Structure 1
């Protein structure tokens, strides 16, 4: 069960399982008044431009891969919302200011799965460090899903482990 939308506080790092299978989550910063600032990946909608804009926030899926502001309903896309806790986070007003500055300047850059995804954006706004723990745990370090299977295959698996670790290291160090 997700978080109650009414209990969200401005500055919260929120996420939802938009894949429906816990494969990946979509992350953003709740800024209050039912609105979220987030880095949007390319739309998977086949008929771009054919749907009406959201009556609450005006969002309309298209090819955008930049920081946008949408309502919670568009952000969650019918899925439950959760709050991500951080051990070292900035003050809530500073988190909202950071997210708003990226939105207004549009300078976080385009979405890139391994180097600049929605989690990098939200974690950076919240902590000042652009990391993606989700990628690290799901694609390439010993605690992740894929690497132990690669290691079991012998020398090729060892190469996969090293490559996976290198990718995780780059993601962790991304700025």
Structure 2
């Protein structure tokens, strides 16, 4: 893994890898789980990545399989009830470059990455478990799509870790969603410096510091509002509007939490 890039070759991939490819001039990346045999399971908004009703709809392009006049026999379309699909690698990449998302990185390396959505402090589960989750969700669906709370990166991170954010009022696991929000937040918080200094370097340093701190605190490996849930339990509870917490996260010296049911 490089400091500036997680670019990899197809030959280096193994089943269970979390991969991604940048879209629209590196504005946004689409994420998925490689399950072997040149196949990728990924989460789309019923085949359409956009649909927030905001200016983001102009910036983000579809993360579904590449569209062509001929239907690719290796790919499936999103079902009416959910947007989890399986695509061949060519359709998933849509002409983009292949990157691998990294897990269990050091805090120093995490902060050195200028862009969110490329790595996490969280530890991945074993590859067989990851592939099982991805294939199970392909058949049974994931959560309702939301660009900030439940997107393609959230899907891939759940497959890798089994972790789910339980606070519906906050953003999800997605590092790139944090980056989208964190940039303007850093600019706003650094603005008061103009009242006491005209040093542009000082204001820039403050903005960078706020941005890095927001990314670090919101990373799935650092958050306290996440729990670990078996994939079978996740889908069954989402179907009835309840989320059963069966195995809370125990990491980063956090104390175990008791099992509880949380209303969705």
* TM-score interval, smaller chain: 0.7 to 0.9
Q: Which whole-Å CA distance do the structure 2 matches of 1:61 and 1:68 have between them? A: 5
Query: Higher Cα Rg: structure 1 or 2?
Result: 2
Structure 1 stretch 56-65 or stretch 2-11: which is displaced more? 56-65
Larger RCO: 1 or 2 (CA < 8 Å, sep 6+): 1
Aligned pairs for 1:123-134 within 5 A: 123-130=157-164, 131-134=173-176
Which residue in the other structure is 1:8 paired with?
13
1:71 maps to what in 2? 88
Uncovered stretches (5+) of structure 2, i.e. residues with no partner: 50-60, 105-122, 165-172, 193-209, 228-264
Instruction: Report what 1:97 is aligned to.
Output: 132
Change (3 A) 1:57 1:110: farther
Contact 1:66 1:109 in 2 (8 A): no
Q: Is the 8 A contact 1:39 1:117 kept in 2?
A: yes
Query: Structure 1's 61 and 89: CA in aligned 2 closer, same or farther, altered over 3 A?
Result: closer
2:44 aligns with 40
Give the alignment partner of residue 147 of structure 1, picking from 185, 200, 203: 185
CA RMSD between the two structures: 3.0
Query: Number of aligned pairs?
Result: 153
Query: d(CA) in 1 for partners of 2:68 and 2:29?
Result: 24
* Residues 6 and 54 (structure 1), Cα distance of their counterparts in 2 relative to 1, 3 Å cut: farther
Q: Which runs of 5+ in 1 are unaligned?
A: 155-160
